[in-house]
Structure formats: C-alpha cells, structure tokens
Amino acid sequence: MDTSTQHGTARVTPVLLVTAVAAAISGFLYGYDTGIISGALLQIGDEFGISRIQEQVITAGILVGAVLGAFAGSKLSERYGRKKTILLVGVVFVLGTLACSVAPTATTLAAARVLLGTAVGAATQTVPMFVAELAPAARRGRLVLSFQLAIGVGILVATLVGASEQLSWRWSIGLAAVPAAVLFTIMLRQPESPRWLVKAGRVDDARATLQRIRGAHADHRDVEDELDHIVGLEREQRKAPAKGWDGLRQPWIRPALVVGCGISLFTQLSGIEMIIYYTPTILTDVGFERSSALQASVALAATYVVMQVVGLAVIDRIGRRRLVLVMIPGAAVALAVLGTVFATGQDTPDTAWLLVTCLIVFMLFNAGGLQLMGWLTGSEVYPLAVRSAGTSAQAMVLWGSNAVLSLTILSMIDAIGEGGAMFVYAAFNVAAWIFIWRVVPELSGRSLEDIEGALRRDSFRPGGV
C-alpha cells in the first residue's frame, strides 16, 4: 500500500494548525535567541570590555548548550514522549532567557547562554519530529517548515530590535521569556504523537489521537489503515536486534544517518551562521558605521524570511532535492564574488553597495534552498525505532559544527582575511551540491513508512525512494 498517496488529500485540521503554531513559536525562539546576539554583542562589548575571543565564547555558549540539549531531548522524548519534552523545553527557555538578561559578568552570561542553548537544542531535536509524526505525508513538508520559517522570523525580529538600539541588550534578550511561556501554555492541550503512543504500547490511545488529528471528516477506514501501518512497522521494530542509539549502527539505517547528518553539517558550512552572527562585526571592521551595519543585518534577515516563505510555498511541489540543487550554485557564486571584493582590497565606501548586495544574494539562494533541508530532512529519514536517536545525532552534528564555526570565524578572518574566509565557505557550498546530487534522494510526497521501506530495501538513494 502506497501511503504517500493514501493520505495525500488530508486536511490541515485545528489540531495540526495549533501544532504548527507551537512549532512556529519554538522556531521563533531558536531564531530570536541565537540571532539577538548579533546586535547585542556591540552593547555587551561596551559594557564588559570583552576581547575577540570572549565575543566568540559568548556567541558559542548557546551552541554548546544546544549540543547537550539535542542529546537530552532524544532521551527524554523517547522515554516520556514528545509532548512532555516540549513542555519542559518551554520551561527551560524561560529560565535560560531570564538568566541571560540578569547576568552580571561576561562569564555568567556565557554560562547562562549554555543553559538557554539546552532548550534550543532539545527543541530542534523534538519539535520537527513531533510535527512530522502528526502530519499526513502531503502536508508534512509545509507543516514542518513552519518551524523553519519561524526561525527566520525570530532572526528578523532580533535584528530589528538590535538595529533600533532602543533597548538595552538585557531587555532585548529577556523579552524572549514571553513567547516561551506561550509555548508552554499551548502545548498543555496538544495530543501526544500517535507513533510514540504505539511504540509505548498504547494502541487505543493512538487510535483516538489519530482520529482527533485527522479530524471528524476523516474516513474511519483510512484512519485504521494508517494505524495498522504504524502498528505493523512497530512490530517489525520490536524484532530488530538494536534500537535507539545502538540501532543507528545497523547497516540498513546508515544511509539515513549519512543523509541527515550530512545535510545538517552543510547547512552550517554553507556560511549562514557567519552571516547571521557576525555581519555587523565584519562590516564595522571594514569601516561601516554601526547603524549602517545593523541595517544591513535587517536586510539580510528580511531576505531570509521572504525566501523561507517562498520555499514553504513551493517545496512540496518542486521537490526538496531539485530545489536545493538549483539554489546552491547561486549562494556559492555570491560568496566567491564577495571574497574577490575583499581579497582585492575593494571593500571601500564606494563599493559598500556591492558588499551588501552579495550578502543579500547569498542569503536569497541559501535561505531559499539548503536551509530548508536541515530540520525537515531530520524529521523524515529515520525509522521509528531510532527516530529520537537519529534526530538527536543530526541536531548534535548541526549544533556542534555551528559551535566550532562560531568559535573560529573571527579568528579565521584575522588569520586569512575576509576574502579568504569567503572563498572557504564558497568551496563548502560546492561540496554541499556534490553531496546532495550524489547521495540525497527525493523525499517529497513520501510517507514516513515509505521512506523506511526504501531503507529496508536498500533503495534509499537518488531515484530509489
């Protein structure tokens, strides 16, 4: 039975809509809490008199915490369920945000950002998986990408707050406690994932939840067929010799791990975090006024959001793989041109327009392409028995690489110059294109069970799913 078409006309019910809202709030918090540091660093530097290395440590603190949170999120969501884990994430978001906003020193601020990062990491591990497990195949891409789109909105709001320079960095960071509290409140009434309920042996609860998610209009037989498919796969999983983290070592699951972790790694190596975190710092270093540098960050964040909206609208029709293969070359060319401008010493007030244009063009192609794949792919490719561990491993790769890059970007620029750094990231984009072309299959329109079936048949490759 091809479940990719069976549930292809499923509607977005109120339960799914509220789930998408919860995902959007989680994504907003991720984007805001990571993006607010871009403009806040200028004020933090003035208050604490920090060095270049300390700037990198404060920036990367949230990323180190995210690695820890991604691992913890896997354990918690597997044992206690997706819903309870997200509720806990909401609480930690509030506590971490408030701790950052009252930090008395640069050291305590970095430590508080580690705490906040655990919420970010757990959210990115659990929320896309939760949405994917509730959504019908035909709607999964758009619903999961509500999380991705909200990341861009969070970054945009954070850059607008920073560019306005109307709030102190303490207030600008502390305001994130409000949506975190809203997330907790919304999740109180949401159902648990029916796939997790089946895994926990609660089949009757899973049936009732699935009927609630699909809505009163849904044919009872379709709901039963979907439940039977989930139950059947769970029976097979129970016979598997290894589950969870041990299960990731099984040869038939390895292709999913390569695709998921590879995509996560390249979303960071593409240069997006360098652009988001350090654009004001880089531009002020080459002579931009602080206000102009912050305004450039706003333009970049707005471009990110616009392209996420465009991607959200077309990705299920065009296909994930095809869209990314079309978009990556534009990002690579933009970085190469930017590197040439810096390397040839043309980064002057007369060429400021060219610098900003290259940054915006890069963001256009990167946000509308590769960035769409990171969290969406992780929510799709892993079989149920290892899904929590797989999404956790993928999130840890993403956040770990993000932390390493954030800790080294400014040092790399000091060592090889802005031009050299741009060339390095342009090369990473070329490598990402090759990886996707050779390794990543097209997953649009396929149910989670279809994808798992392709892994078991050893046909999880381009043209094989």
387-428 pLDDT tens trace: 878 888 888 888 888 888 877 877 888 889 888 989 999 999
Average pLDDT, whole number, for the chain? 85
Dihedral, 270, 271, 273, 277 alpha carbons, nearest 10: -170
Determine which of 138-147, 242-251, 252-261, 346-355 has the lowest per-residue pLDDT on average.
138-147
How many whole angstroms separate alpha carbon 174 and alpha carbon 113? 12
The answer to whether the beta carbons of residues 1 and 131 sit under 8 Å apart is no
How many whole angstroms separate alpha carbon 71 and alpha carbon 396? 7
pLDDT attached to residue 5: 39
**CA 60 from centre of chain:** 16
Share of the chain above pLDDT 70, in %: 94
Determine which of 11-15, 91-95, 211-215, 282-286 has the lowest per-residue pLDDT on average.
282-286
The answer to whether the beta carbons of residues 106 and 50 sit under 8 Å apart is yes
HSE, side-chain direction, 13 A CA sphere, residue 339: 18
Contacts of 246 (CB under 8 A, 6+ apart): none
Mean local confidence (pLDDT), 39-50: 82
Is a pLDDT exceeding 60 seen at residue 14?
Answer: yes
How many whole angstroms separate alpha carbon 325 and alpha carbon 433? 6
How many whole angstroms separate alpha carbon 462 and alpha carbon 348? 45
Dihedral, 392, 398, 402, 403 alpha carbons, nearest 10: 30
- Residues 281-306: tens digit of each pLDDT: 777 776 777 777 778 888 888 898 89
- Residues 195-235: tens digit of each pLDDT: 899 988 899 999 998 888 887 777 778 888 888 888 887 88
The answer to whether the beta carbons of residues 213 and 13 sit under 8 Å apart is yes
Q: What are phi and psi of 407, to 5 degrees?
A: -80, -15
How many whole angstroms separate alpha carbon 228 and alpha carbon 171? 51
Q: Closest Cα to residue 47, out of 127, 106, 89, 119?
A: 106
- Residues 291-344: tens digit of each pLDDT: 777 788 888 888 988 988 888 778 778 888 899 999 999 999 999 999 998 888
The answer to whether the beta carbons of residues 140 and 3 sit under 8 Å apart is no
Instruction: Identify the structural domains of the chain with CATH numbers, from first to last.
Output: 3-190+240-456 (1.20.1250.20)
Q: 390: burial class by Cβ within 10 Å (0-12, 13-18, 19+)? A: buried
The answer to whether the beta carbons of residues 439 and 461 sit under 8 Å apart is yes
